[in-house]
Structure 1
């Protein structure tokens, strides 16, 4: 028993998670609720899962997103570093999405 306890202490949180039994694959499975219920067992993974899983799925078609680049790039903006340009385009999308009805209101992150 002692050897089993010591070996489980030495395993990483990720290793312990990967050794878990696979959950029943059903349509009503709520992955955010699962992570909320297991955050005591896997605190680091639960926090990472929450941060990743709450990112809204984009409703903008990729073709539309690429065509926006041409409208967004003025001669002045072409001098921007690609990272800055991407940040500006994302920010503009996030600001206008509620007005266009693109991002539905979600429950506050603190409750997840």
Structure 2
């Protein structure tokens, strides 16, 4: 796992890389066009360092999109994943609350009526 474990930071990296690949652009081409050093870019896509807003702006211009689109897409993906994780936890908690075989007779009857 990268140094930056926030879902949002990981999704920003993912969106940038997906858009770069969609444009059939190499990392070297992107680095040359943006002025971001190659080693710096690799450190950022590995999550060792974060992209700053100036870099996201430069990357977006080279990739032909608005920098806000990169951030919005990353935010939406992170929110979906966060919601899915919360739903999974809630479902697991709910399962522990549902009556199980061997419970009291009333609980057993409730268990048998579940779909």
The question of a shared fold, defined as TM-score above 0.5 by the shorter chain, is answered with: no
The two structures have a TM-score, normalised by structure 2, of 0.29
Larger relative contact order (CA 8 Å, sep ≥ 6): 2
Which one has a larger percent helix, Structure 1 or Structure 2? Answer: 2
